[in-house]
Amino acid sequence: MPQQFRAQADWSRRLGSPLYAHLLSHAAEDYEAGGPVRELLDPHTHNRHGMALPLQLMAAVHRLVLEGHAPELAHFYPSAGGSLEIDASWEPFRRTLTEEMEALRVLVNRPVQTNDPGRSGSLLGGFLLIARLTGLPLRLLEIGSSTGLNLCWDRFRYE
């Protein structure tokens, strides 16, 4: 589990989310030390794969922040009007885990939508076939939950 947190922290850092990189790195350490991260997530480790569980934790905590249930932590979340004082964010995050443990137990069970435009790659073969067979322009109506990312397929590149 800690390696999943560290991997997601690395991706967060590379993708421009220093707050999540910081919190996920500390969450890995907290898990190893047997802290509230471990207490919250241990019951779920048997049925989760990849990086889903760290993302579900972050989504659950973010929801509490946005709903006003973690006002101390909200000071660090730009989405809640806070600033990126990253170094001071871990302790309020950890306190939120402890104080809101029961709510978080419910929230971490909810799946997260990662909105990965890489999924459009699986559409490419079909698009190329249709274009070749019909010679017509392609239009796409997305009814899924990819927030329109699949609608931008014509801006992606294939080599």
Structure tokens given for 1:
């589990």
The structure tokens 């137990």 sit at 105
How far is it, in rounded angstroms, from Cα 58 to Cα 4? Answer: 13
Helices (H), 33-120: 36-41, 52-66, 71-74, 90-99, 101-107
Same domain assignment for residues 78 and 132: no
Same domain assignment for residues 72 and 133: no
pLDDT at 113: 64
Structure tokens given for 91:
């302790």
Same domain assignment for residues 36 and 71: yes
Q: Which domain holds residue 9?
A: 2-107
- Specify if 112 maps to a domain: no
Same domain assignment for residues 103 and 32: yes
Same domain assignment for residues 103 and 134: no
- Specify if 10 maps to a domain: yes
**This prediction's pTM:** 0.71
| Axis-axis angle for helices 2-14, 18-32 (nearest 10) | 170
Q: Per the structure, how many domains does the chain have?
A: 2
- How high is the mean pLDDT in each 10-residue block of the chain (159 residues)? 89 87 95 93 70 84 92 89 85 94 88 65 81 86 61 67
